[in-house]
């Protein structure tokens, strides 16, 4: 999850097209697999804080920053994690495209030192692409803990590029890295890999079809290899109009024939090789990797280690630490024990901390005591005496005023709840719990057409569904992305809404159980239906499990802060906008009209007509509506049954404006509209059913 950086304006930015710090400066690009410490290296180099996560597949955007190394300035670019130059997912494609398009001064390939054998293959690909390269062996401390020793000098000699060992989270090796960036010169001669007589002729043939590569980031040979593997980006790049190869193509053949020729060659080569070409290329590269790794890496066996008399205290502690992590891991991933652990996390983290403490105690104090008794009366008196116009008074300090409603709700209600949720989320995220949850729930998620990977956006959705909708980008298939977007919009309450509902219903355990049961049922039912009805293949599940780590306090604080920062930049303007719209609506009578219209479904599900404005607010923000519910509950206007019905309907109701906008951005306007068109009636229908059932059964809550 990439969030806004905390930094001076115009010094860095994230994903914004108009913001280009360090534009025109020599570029340093960080590439590498997910979860190897690229972001923390980016922080160390650029001096900015960015969010660092302990789970793979969450960085969805490119970050840019500026840095001064020695007395030269550079633009630093952090990319979403990619495993190889041939992308599998959309985020990888983002990184790949960047390498195609940008002219880099130096590329830093960041690898996890423990996993050199697995990651060096990508280094070879980058060298094959003739990118100016420095290899950064990060997490050297964790490698040492596991008894892995790497001969850095030998590795550098073997690859003919600079190699630097770092521990980016502690800032170790950063000076050395800066020094090698300053001294860096692009060595053109590199070790070439021979892919064998069956395919080499085809590689050369495709290369000869290509024009010059002067204007592109990557070499002709690399491009030819990607074309042979049918890579979409490479195909687009070579055979789309307006690109660098246009002139050459016009001179010789039309783009169509070039494209077909290329595909034909790929087909023939694949048949000759007998196995898919990407497999063949990887195997050949791995041969060389294994050769290199044998030379430079030594692993001390754990058993041997324990037998040694000379073992130091430090080593003993390290072994203990690893053993403890293994034991915890085996509990977290246990098919039976894992479930109670999940419930414990939910109970303490979500219910007690976010629901009871933050949304109950803290909000009560802030809203009623701080704002209700002290700040608001003061501001209202002051404003009323200053501005004698009732209409303007209404806009700022009236019942739905910008100050009395928007600002009060934001600071007294949303801030503590969202903050508490993001704090909990950051802790479990940093500990590495989320992928384990994916492992645990994959089987169940398959029933609703999702894989265990979708657990990450779903859990994040309990914090902010808008953020989560953005993160669905990391899911592999279009079908999975669509199903998770629907479920996020429909059944996952965001933290502000959840906190308020938990706090309202906490005095009413039966009501809470009914509410949770109905939401869970609807979630499962709609997911099951979507999985049955939507065309496409069932998802497959493959996820890397990062090691369990003790979360670092500083990292958690920074993460929680920057997530809240992102949230508030998005929320407060919308709250203010809602206040202004309601004010205009009340002046023109449109608000009364809309309220009137909303009263029908409201009364239909057994609620008092006054509750209509909860749902009208829900159009602007779901949590805004929840806040209205809180107000009605406070005033004692609702019975137990009505409260549960209102909570159910509101949870299933339309997502907030921001999430709607994000859905349009990620899934397209039509899909977003269709999802909303489905949600509106289904929320009221569910409310109606719950109300009818409770009445028929004579339940009083």
User: How remote is the C-alpha of 521 from its chain's centroid?
Assistant: 26
Can you tell me which of 25, 148, 516, 534 binds another protein, judged by CB under 8 A? 148
Round to whole Å and give the CA distance between 267 and 261: 10
Nearer to another protein, 78 or 145 (CB): 145
Nearer to another protein, 338 or 655 (CB): 338
Q: Is 117 a binder of another protein (CB under 8 A)?
A: yes
How many other C-beta atoms can be found within 10 angstroms of the C-beta atom of residue 604?
13
Can you tell me which of 22, 398, 435, 618 binds another protein, judged by CB under 8 A? 435
Quick one: which segment of 272-280, 464-472, 557-565, 675-683 binds another protein (CB under 8 A)? 272-280
Q: Render 595-664 in DSSP notation, one character per residue.
A: HHHHHHHHHHTT--GGGHHHHHHHHH-HHHHHHHHHHHHHTT-S-HHHHHHHHHHHHHSPPPHHHHHHHH
Nearer to another protein, 282 or 676 (CB): 282
Nearer to another protein, 279 or 669 (CB): 279
Can you tell me which of 26, 69, 102, 115 binds another protein, judged by CB under 8 A? 115
**What does the per-residue mask of binding to another protein show for 57-86, with x meaning CB under 8 A?**
--------------------------xx-x
Can you tell me which of 440, 460, 486, 595 binds another protein, judged by CB under 8 A? 440
Nearer to another protein, 276 or 517 (CB): 276
Q: How far is the CB of 229 from another protein (least distance, A)?
A: 9
User: Cβ distance 690 to 518 under 8 Å?
Assistant: yes
Residues in contact with 521: Cβ distance below 8 Å, sequence separation at least 6, in sequence order: none
Residue with tokens 């008399």: 309
Q: How far is the CB of 46 from another protein (least distance, A)?
A: 28
Round to whole Å and give the CA distance between 103 and 114: 30
Quick one: which segment of 350-358, 371-379, 445-453, 464-472 binds another protein (CB under 8 A)? 445-453
Round to whole Å and give the CA distance between 34 and 668: 27
Q: Is 282 a binder of another protein (CB under 8 A)?
A: yes
Can you tell me which of 377, 443, 517, 668 binds another protein, judged by CB under 8 A? 443
Is residue 69 classed as helix, strand or coil in its secondary structure?
A: strand
Q: Is 446 a binder of another protein (CB under 8 A)?
A: yes
Q: How far is the CB of 485 from another protein (least distance, A)?
A: 22
Can you tell me which of 9, 71, 214, 275 binds another protein, judged by CB under 8 A? 275
Q: How far is the CB of 169 from another protein (least distance, A)?
A: 18
Q: How far is the CB of 297 from another protein (least distance, A)?
A: 11
Q: How far is the CB of 123 from another protein (least distance, A)?
A: 12
Q: Is 90 a binder of another protein (CB under 8 A)?
A: no
Q: How far is the CB of 142 from another protein (least distance, A)?
A: 9
Q: Is 234 a binder of another protein (CB under 8 A)?
A: no
Q: Is 536 a binder of another protein (CB under 8 A)?
A: no
Q: How far is the CB of 375 from another protein (least distance, A)?
A: 50
Round to whole Å and give the CA distance between 519 and 447: 17
Can you tell me which of 452, 457, 461, 618 binds another protein, judged by CB under 8 A? 452
Q: Is 114 exposed, middle or buried (0-12, 13-18, 19+ CB in 10 A)?
A: buried
Round to whole Å and give the CA distance between 137 and 150: 9
Can you tell me which of 319, 333, 380, 552 binds another protein, judged by CB under 8 A? 333
User: Cβ distance 491 to 651 under 8 Å?
Assistant: yes
Nearer to another protein, 196 or 681 (CB): 196
Nearer to another protein, 117 or 549 (CB): 117
Round to whole Å and give the CA distance between 659 and 665: 10
Residues in contact with 354: Cβ distance below 8 Å, sequence separation at least 6, in sequence order: 417, 420, 421, 424, 495, 498, 499, 502
Nearer to another protein, 278 or 384 (CB): 278
> Comparing C-alpha atoms, which of 43, 45, 48, 35 is closest to residue 1?
35
Beta partners for 417? none
User: Cβ distance 495 to 355 under 8 Å?
Assistant: no
What's phi and psi for 64, nearest 5 deg? Answer: -125, 140
Q: Tell me which residues in 540-599 interact with another protein (CB under 8 A).
A: 540-545, 547
Q: Is 671 a binder of another protein (CB under 8 A)?
A: no
Round to whole Å and give the CA distance between 12 and 76: 9
Nearer to another protein, 333 or 671 (CB): 333
Can you tell me which of 438, 463, 655, 687 binds another protein, judged by CB under 8 A? 438
User: Cβ distance 21 to 12 under 8 Å?
Assistant: yes
Size of the site for another protein (CB under 8 A): 42
Can you tell me which of 290, 295, 391, 510 binds another protein, judged by CB under 8 A? 290
What's phi and psi for 14, nearest 5 deg? Answer: -135, 105
Q: How far is the CB of 531 from another protein (least distance, A)?
A: 15
Round to whole Å and give the CA distance between 427 and 425: 5
Round to whole Å and give the CA distance between 284 and 66: 38
User: Cβ distance 682 to 490 under 8 Å?
Assistant: yes
Is residue 59 classed as helix, strand or coil in its secondary structure?
A: coil
Can you tell me which of 53, 121, 166, 190 binds another protein, judged by CB under 8 A? 121
Round to whole Å and give the CA distance between 635 and 631: 6
Round to whole Å and give the CA distance between 319 and 302: 8
In this structure, what token pair is assigned to residue 57?
Answer: 């597949």
Q: How far is the CB of 450 from another protein (least distance, A)?
A: 12
In this structure, what token pair is assigned to residue 390?
Answer: 């009732």
Can you tell me which of 97, 118, 178, 248 binds another protein, judged by CB under 8 A? 118
Can you tell me which of 279, 365, 525, 600 binds another protein, judged by CB under 8 A? 279
Q: How far is the CB of 542 from another protein (least distance, A)?
A: 5
Round to whole Å and give the CA distance between 244 and 673: 39
- End-to-end C-alpha distance for the chain, whole angstroms: 41
Can you tell me which of 16, 20, 72, 88 binds another protein, judged by CB under 8 A? 88
Nearer to another protein, 96 or 651 (CB): 96
Nearer to another protein, 320 or 334 (CB): 334
Nearer to another protein, 145 or 367 (CB): 145
- Sheet with 133-138, strands from edge to edge, namely 12-14, 63-69, 72-78, 27-31, 106-112, 133-138, 163-165
Can you tell me which of 65, 338, 355, 618 binds another protein, judged by CB under 8 A? 338
User: How remote is the C-alpha of 75 from its chain's centroid?
Assistant: 24
Q: Is 324 exposed, middle or buried (0-12, 13-18, 19+ CB in 10 A)?
A: exposed
Q: Is 340 a binder of another protein (CB under 8 A)?
A: no
| DSSP state at residue 191 | P
Alpha-carbon separation of residue 642 from 515, 541, 606 (angstroms):
11, 42, 7
- What residues make contact with another protein under the rule CB under 8 A? 83-84, 86, 88, 114-115, 117-119, 121, 146, 148, 275-276, 278-279, 282-283, 286, 290, 330, 333-335, 338, 435, 438-443, 446, 451-452, 540-545, 547
């Amino acid at each position: 999850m990439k969030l806004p950086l905390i930094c001076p304006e115009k010094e860095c930015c994230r994903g914004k097209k108009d913001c280009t710090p360090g534009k025109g400066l020599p570029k340093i690009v960080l590439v590498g697999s997910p979860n190897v410490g690229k972001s923390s290296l980016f922080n160390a180099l650029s001096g900015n804080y960015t969010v660092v996560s302990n789970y793979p597949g969450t960085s969805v955007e490119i970050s840019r920053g500026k840095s001064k190394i020695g007395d030269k300035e550079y633009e630093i670019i952090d990319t979403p994690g990619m495993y190889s130059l041939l992308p599998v997912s959309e985020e990888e494609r983002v990184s790949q495209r960047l390498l195609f398009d940008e002219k880099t001064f130096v590329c830093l390939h960041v690898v996890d030192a423990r996993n050199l054998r697995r990651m060096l293959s990508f280094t070879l690909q980058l060298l094959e692409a003739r990118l100016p390269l420095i290899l950064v062996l990060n997490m050297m401390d964790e490698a040492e803990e596991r008894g892995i020793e790497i001969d850095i000098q030998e590795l550098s000699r073997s690859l003919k590029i600079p190699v630097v060992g770092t521990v980016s989270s502690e800032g170790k090796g950063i000076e050395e890295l800066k020094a090698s960036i300053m001294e860096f010169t692009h060595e053109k001669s590199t070790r070439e890999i021979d892919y064998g007589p069956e395919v080499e002729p085809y590689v050369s043939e495709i290369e000869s079809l290509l024009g010059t590569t002067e204007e592109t980031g990557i070499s002709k040979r690399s491009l030819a290899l990607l074309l042979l593997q049918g890579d979409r980006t490479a195909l687009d790049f070579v055979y789309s109009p307006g690109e660098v190869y246009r002139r050459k193509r016009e001179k010789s053949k039309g783009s169509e024939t070039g494209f077909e020729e290329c595909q034909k060659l790929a087909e023939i080569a694949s048949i000759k090789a007998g196995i898919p070409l990407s497999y063949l290329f990887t195997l050949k590269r791995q041969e060389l990797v294994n050769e290199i790794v044998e030379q430079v890496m030594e692993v001390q066996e754990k058993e041997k280690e324990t037998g040694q008399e000379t073992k130091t205290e430090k080593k003993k502690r390290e072994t203990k630490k690893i053993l403890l992590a293994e034991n915890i891991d085996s509990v977290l991933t246990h098919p039976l024990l894992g479930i109670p652990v999940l419930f414990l996390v939910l109970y303490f983290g979500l219910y007690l901390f976010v629901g009871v403490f933050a949304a109950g105690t803290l909000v009560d104090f802030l809203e009623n005591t701080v704002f209700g008794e002290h700040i608001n009366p003061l501001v209202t008196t002051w404003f009323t005496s200053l501005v004698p116009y009732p209409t303007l008074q209404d806009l700022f300090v009236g019942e739905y005023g910008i100050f009395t409603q928007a600002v009060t709700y934001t600071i007294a209600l949303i801030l503590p709840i969202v903050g508490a949720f993001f704090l909990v989320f950051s802790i479990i995220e940093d500990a590495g719990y989320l992928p384990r949850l994916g492992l645990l729930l994959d089987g169940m998620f398959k029933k609703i057409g999702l894989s265990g990977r979708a657990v990450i956006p779903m859990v994040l959705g309990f914090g902010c569904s808008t953020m989560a909708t953005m993160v669905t980008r990391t899911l592999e298939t279009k079908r999975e992305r669509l199903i998770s977007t629907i479920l996020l919009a429909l059944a996952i309450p965001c933290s502000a809404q959840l906190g308020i509902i938990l706090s309202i219903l906490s005095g009413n355990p039966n009501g809470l159980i009914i509410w949770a049961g109905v939401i869970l049922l609807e979630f499962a039912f709609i997911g099951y239906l979507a999985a049955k009805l939507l065309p496409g293949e069932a998802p497959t599940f493959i996820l890397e499990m990062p090691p369990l780590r003790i979360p670092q306090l500083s990292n958690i604080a920074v993460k929680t802060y920057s997530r809240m920062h992102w949230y508030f930049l998005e929320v407060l303007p919308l709250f203010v906008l809602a206040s202004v719209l309601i004010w205009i609506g009340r002046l023109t009578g449109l608000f009364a009209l809309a309220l009137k219209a909303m009263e029908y479904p409201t009364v239909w599900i057994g609620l008092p007509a006054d509750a209509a404005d909860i749902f009208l607010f829900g159009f602007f923000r779901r949590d805004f509506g929840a806040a209205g519910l809180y107000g009605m509950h406070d005033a004692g206007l609702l019975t137990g049954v009505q409260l549960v019905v209102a909570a159910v309907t509101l949870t299933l109701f339309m997502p907030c404006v921001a999430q709607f906008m994000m859905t349009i951005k990620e899934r397209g306007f039509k899909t977003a509209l269709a999802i909303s068109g489905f949600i509106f009636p289904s929320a009221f229908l569910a409310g109606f059913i719950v109300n009818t059932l409770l009445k028929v059964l004579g339940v009083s809550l």
